[in-house]
Structure 1
Amino acid sequence: MEYFFKHDYVMTFLQGYNGDRSLLTILGPLIATLPFAAQHVENSKSGTMKYLVGRMGYKKYFNSNFIINFVISFITFAIGMVIFFIVSFVLFSKDLNMDAYRGMTGVSAYKILADKSAFLYILVIILHCAFVGACYSSVGLALSYFIKNKFVAWIGPFIIATIGSLFAMFVGLTKLEPMAIFDVSRVQGMTPSFVISYLLISILLAYIFSYMKFKKDIENDEEI
């Protein structure tokens, strides 16, 4: 509430995204995995997986799970952030503080877009966070093929992001911080191409390793 009469709607949104009191960067991995990342574990325990694999084949089952998980996490994150933006727009000032805005976006990976339009920048941030959330969720789903526990699927990406970021800071490789990929204003010198490549490689590795594990388990009759 102390910010209520101090910030315009753009700064309110950005403070919620990566401000000094925002928890979204830390809690993002947990938010992303809750909707669907543990579904494979649930399917395995309920016997649904046996039925689905029997009808669809293991390849189609795996791909469907992976894609649905990605899409649901993406939509969940996007809708949540759109709602937050609408609330910020309705409740807070429309008179933008451009000095504060430039201070928040000065080292952003998407600074070029931020300089063109605050609304465009916010739209890109929403899409970016939704994509990162889907990436987190893909990692959580991948972990569930190795450790068949829904809590591992939920908190695994959170633990990886936290430990990975601490380790990256310790060795001086701050650009590789998982949290810096979510918060694109966290580390100076980030570029859109680096961020996108980082995310695509993460999703690809999650897909390949989990698919190989699932295929091996099916062939050894460990899943069915």
Structure 2
Amino acid sequence: MNSYIKEEFKRAFFSKITLFTSIFSIVLVFGGMFEYISWIKYGDISVLYLFLSGYNSGTANFLIVVFPIISCLPFAASYVSDCKTGLNKYIYIRMSKTSYRLIRLLVNGLVGGFVLFIGPFISLLFLLGIKVFTHIPMAKEQMETFEYFKSLGIHSPIIAILIILIVLFFCGFTFATFALGISTFIQNIYLAVLLPFIYYIFSATVLINIHTYLNAVVLYDVNHFGVNFAQRCLYGIILCMVGIITFFIGGYKVEQKNT
């Protein structure tokens, strides 16, 4: 089983699609920061302002729009692919179906979280490197997101950024798990990646009218609508549980059908 786990991690993290998605994540973050980077030479900007521009506040920020697709691209459709190629039947010879599903859930969630996390993380390293040479401050401007952290008793910009990175990882983990679950019912590689994005848009246009906290962007944006972390975690847990339950139920039905 250990060798299979290693194979799964290698398959998920070192694939071309994961490399492409990671680069895309990085490009989107820097794209959001791009128009403000030129301000560095004037000293009128901070590390936190630049980071948040790439994360959730820049006028050219698109990561906040497409993050469900980014999270699901690397591995969310892997179960569908395994069923279509018959690879899952070979794997069942080596281990139980339950072990296979649990490993798939874990690896898929981790790679989904990683590709969403990596773009902002690389931008943070870049900005800290810039700070060494330009001496721009960590925080200077009054920013809504940082004010939210201050209201929680967090006054350190770097701690605020690290919390954002953790939230992003779990956001990616959640959407990747959700996608893996629904993929067992639709049996379509492209829809497995697109449906979580469609749900995201649906939540922002329809579910928000039922309750503002039902907007799935709260899983990404730490300050959106002032949702507290307990509510955010509850939403994420529910979406994850939907993914896990549908993965086991849908997977069972698919395998019964193919028996």
- With structure 1 as the length reference, what TM-score do the two structures score? 0.88
- Per-residue deviation, residues 99-133 of structure 1 (Å, max 9, x unmatched): 333x333346x8525x3211011001001011011
Structure 2 equivalent of residue 206 of structure 1: 243
The equivalent residue for 1:55 is 94
2:208 partner SS: helix
Once the two structures are aligned, what percentage of the paired residues are identical? 23
- In the alignment, which residue of structure 1 is the partner of 2:128? 89
User: Which whole-Å CA distance do the structure 1 matches of 2:141 and 2:120 have between them?
Assistant: 24
Q: Match for residue 142 of structure 1?
A: 181
Asked if the contact 1:73/1:133 (under 8 Å) is kept, the reply is yes
State the partner residue of 2:45.
Answer: 7
Structure 2, gaps ≥5 residues long? 1-33
Cross-structure match for 2:145: 104
Contact 2:145 2:222 in 1 (8 A): no
Q: Helix, strand or coil: the match of 1:187?
A: helix
Aligned 8 A contact 1:140 1:157 in 2: yes
Match of 2:76 among 37, 43, 58: 37
CA positional deviation for 1:97: 4.1
CA contact (8 A) 2:203 2:215 kept: yes
What is the aligned partner in structure 2 of residue 175 from structure 1?
213
Q: SS state of the match for residue 241, structure 2?
A: helix
Residue identity matched to 1:77: L
1:195 offset after TM fit, Å? 0.8
1:168–1:177 contact (8 Å) kept in structure 2 = yes
Per-residue CA deviation, residues 181-203 of structure 1 (Å, 9 max, x unaligned), is 21121213x11111111111211
Give the whole-Å Cα distance in 2 for the aligned partners of 1:216 and 1:154: 21
Contact 2:182 2:247 in 1 (8 A): yes
CA distance in 2, matches of 1:53, 1:145: 17
Residue-pair matches, total = 217
Instruction: Give the ranges of 4+ consecutive aligned residues of structure 1 lying more than 6 Å apart after TM superposition.
Output: none
Q: Secondary structure at the match of 1:116?
A: coil
Structure 1 unmatched ranges of 5 or more = none
TM-score normalised according to structure 2 size: 0.77
3-state secondary structure, aligned to 1:100? coil
The match for 2:4 is none
Change (3 A) 1:25 1:184: same
